[in-house]
Structure 1
Amino acid sequence: MNVQVMKTIMLATSVTFVALAVILFPDHTLEASKSGLSMWWNIVFPSLLPFFIISELLIGIGVVRFIGILLEPLMRPLFRVPGSGAFVFAMGIASGFPAGAKYTAHLRQNNDITAIEGERLVSFTNCSNPLFIFAAVAVGFFHNPALGVILAIAHYTGNILVGFVMRFHHPEDAHPTEMIRSSESRLGLAFTALHQTRLIDTRPFGKMMGDAVHSSIKTLLMVGGFIILFSVLNELLGVIGIAAILAGVIRSILLLLQLSPELDIPLLSGMFEITLGSRLASESSTTLLAQAIVTSFILAFNGFSVQAQVASILADTDIRFKPFFFARLLHGFFAAFLTLVIWKPIYLDYLSSGNGSLPVLNREDAPSFIESVYSFLTQTGPWITLFSLLTFIILVTYRAGNQRIFK
């Protein structure tokens, strides 16, 4: 049978099966939808929107090309990507997923990188942000601020290691490092590129800002849809009983790795949605080390929910999704192994012994800075989301009216 025919049958069967499950279990579907919507409405949207808008403006003005020329000698030898990859990596860490994919796709659409460079770049720039690791996971789920240090070190070091490995992706795709004439400094060339980029983009700054808001909110609406969808899928798998079958396979793998089989459901849930998986891992009765190892893998794997968001963003370019999926598996194993390696010297011997000084994470007298930020988001996040969506509606209505006038 033709491969495409098989694919059509599988897609039709899967979607029909999910539709029937939604009809048969409306209560579970509603609760899972509300849970996903709450996460997106209260935390994800208000925390990502400012970064998305600012990054769109930085790209439009030309700051990214300025950074790209300056950091070309660093990024090209290490990761075989242009210097602008440093901006994507920094913003990916600061704002979290799927920012790395969004900015990589933007660079590809502007022809600032090749498709192969995009596949290398997106593989190590899509990661969890520090606020989620420290506040939501370490403090919110585990009630252990020091654990956030271990998770963060393993997560970001693992990302860098993935970048080193992915530099060998398509080694035949050679790109010589840019040579600078002796009469010109790299800083001068970078400023020239910044100025030319600003001149080429003839949009007034107000129009540029409106486009940035419009594009950012569209992306976040897509993100919200995927979060809700995979929250429902994860719940339905448990209700139908498929989760129990898959958990049995995962339990066998955990036993081979000498980890507690109690982590089967948390790991399975985390492979779909990282927030739920991390919370379930923290609630298991196994050792803290085993919980940390599984949580590190979950954070690095990103979950199918985030991976679907990335696939949707990359679909507008010629950047393939398969290398990204391979990188997520690689990052998961790197992060889990690094957690095991640094557990004794950093967590047991340094942080837990009282030798480590973590004033920002200290909870004895007052809430930490990260806890305060997380609390602020949970209290004001819904209002930020509501105001932003109203702004988006006004922008869309205004643009639609202008298009009708000028037709």
Structure 2
Amino acid sequence: MVKSKLKTIILASAVSIMAISLITFPQESVNASIRGLDMWWKIVFPSLLPFFIVSEMLIGFGVVKFIGVLLEPLMRPLFRVPGVGGFVWAMGMASGYPAGAKLTARMRQEGQLTKTEAERLVTFTNCSNPLFIFGAVSVGFFSNPQLGIILALAHYLGNFTVGIMMRFHGKDNSISTSKFSIKNAFNALHQTRINDKRPIGKLLGDAVMSSIQTLLMIGGFIILFSVLNQLLSNLHMIELLGAWLAILLQLVHLPETFSIPLISGLFEITLGNKLTSQVESVSLLQQAIIASIILAFSGFSVQAQVASILAETDINFKPYFIARLFHGIFAGLYTWLLWKPIYENMNQSDPNSKTVPVTYFGDGQWAFNTMEFMREIGPILTLISLMIYICIYAHRMQRNEH
């Protein structure tokens, strides 16, 4: 009872302080809100919407069940999750945060995963996509395409290691697997399609509605944490937390100057990586390690999005949070291990240089160009999608009234 009351006091106090801060710093709050909104409607919404809609269609038509049966002999021994986890893993890496969590929750709601299997799966399928790692971080912030190779390798190897580690989470399920069978996979696909009685039009409409509702929620969290990060900076809380973190950085032989970028990255990965790239008088390896840790931890903004998605199911959020801590450790360690054999071999003249050799400039430029293109057409796609959503919603409300 005392613990519950204490929690109530803490939550009420935190929200009250935030409300007072919004009144005290109105202009800074509005600017931060606009920055969050700008990122959402230019990049996040148009990049995630196609993946979400296609995923819903693939689930409805039974393709995911087909893939699940085929991948069962691989996913079960490695990660102790059903074969459908392979589809969630691939889509999570391709589309980025928080697609892995959304698809895991969807699989759990359909009964294709047990509670424990879903908790294992969500820990290693929710990760950053290559477009963000190469386009925003390596080229956009560091102006160094080869750095993206190291960051991506460390990020996905760290995620794989987390998956192997989390296979020991929970006690249910045997490790026995079914044999590879295309016939069984096709039968599962056909049966799933037959069981779903929705017409194609209804299926597509449901996919659009579900996807846009999720993206609206994601947009709200992005704006909220953009404002929260700004308010913490105005209240000098970032500097205070950074002073404590500087002590920890000294223990692992990293410069204290990374304390502010790392604290900012704990809340929002984009700002954290941007500040990390601007730290001076440090080696590029040290910057890469901090950037990998921030990417792996994914920030409280993304974690809040995941928690909100998982709240619609019985999936516990705690294993996911613990996995992010380990992912940060593994990603930083892999960056350090791969630096000399991979990055220094690509840049034998000066490994610490941020200058991009002409012969390698194309390695990450595709991602940067794609992100710039999305910034130009993203708002148009977002507005069109929202108009379609409103039309579908209005049509269904009108039909329900009749």
TM-score normalised by length of structure 2: 0.95
Return the offset for 1:178: 4.3
Distance 1:399 1:16 in 2: 39
1:188 to 183, 186, 201: 183
- 1:232 aligns to 2:227 (yes or no): yes
Distance 1:7 1:383 in 2: 43
| Larger RCO, structures 1/2 (Cα 8 Å, 6+ apart) | 2
Equivalent runs, 1:92-171 vs 2, <5 Å = 92-170=92-170
Provide the secondary structure at the position in 1 that maps to 2:176. coil
Change (3 A) 1:313 1:25: same
Which residue does the alignment assign to 2:399? 402
Distance 1:133 1:360 in 2: 20
Return the offset for 1:161: 0.2
Give the AA of the match of 1:93. M
Provide the secondary structure at the position in 1 that maps to 2:161. helix
Q: CA offsets, 1:271-329, max 9 Å, x none?
A: 00000000000011022111110000000001000000000000011110000000000
Please say if residues 145 and 361 of structure 1, whose CA atoms lie closer than 8 Å, have aligned partners that are also in contact: no
Give the AA of the match of 1:385. T
Please say if residues 22 and 29 of structure 2, whose CA atoms lie closer than 8 Å, have aligned partners that are also in contact: yes
Q: CA offsets, 1:144-184, max 9 Å, x none?
A: 001000000000000000000000111x212353446xxxx
Which residue does the alignment assign to 1:302? 298
Distance 1:50 1:361 in 2: 33
- 1:348 aligns to 2:344 (yes or no): yes
Give the AA of the match of 1:293. I
Provide the secondary structure at the position in 1 that maps to 2:67. helix
Q: CA offsets, 1:180-199, max 9 Å, x none?
A: 6xxxx721111111111111
Change (3 A) 1:42 1:179: closer
Equivalent runs, 1:212-291 vs 2, <5 Å = 212-285=207-280, 286-291=282-287
Distance 2:129 2:386 in 1: 23
Which residue does the alignment assign to 1:369? 366
Which residue does the alignment assign to 1:62? 62
Return the offset for 1:237: 0.6
Distance 2:248 2:39 in 1: 30
Q: CA offsets, 1:205-254, max 9 Å, x none?
A: 11111110111011011111000100111110110111111011111111
Equivalent runs, 1:5-20 vs 2, <5 Å = 5-20=5-20
Distance 1:4 1:107 in 2: 33
Distance 1:351 1:203 in 2: 56
Change (3 A) 1:103 1:352: farther
- 1:175 aligns to 2:174 (yes or no): yes
Return the offset for 1:353: 5.1
Change (3 A) 1:287 1:367: closer
Please say if residues 233 and 239 of structure 2, whose CA atoms lie closer than 8 Å, have aligned partners that are also in contact: yes
Distance 1:101 1:215 in 2: 14
Provide the secondary structure at the position in 2 that maps to 1:368. helix
Return the offset for 1:361: 8.5
Give the AA of the match of 1:320. N
Distance 2:91 2:65 in 1: 15
1:331 to 319, 327, 331: 327
Please say if residues 135 and 365 of structure 2, whose CA atoms lie closer than 8 Å, have aligned partners that are also in contact: no
Q: CA offsets, 1:365-406, max 9 Å, x none?
A: x9932232122111111111111111111111111111111x
Distance 2:390 2:359 in 1: 40
TM-score normalised by length of structure 1: 0.94
Return the offset for 1:28: 1.0
Distance 1:361 1:199 in 2: 53
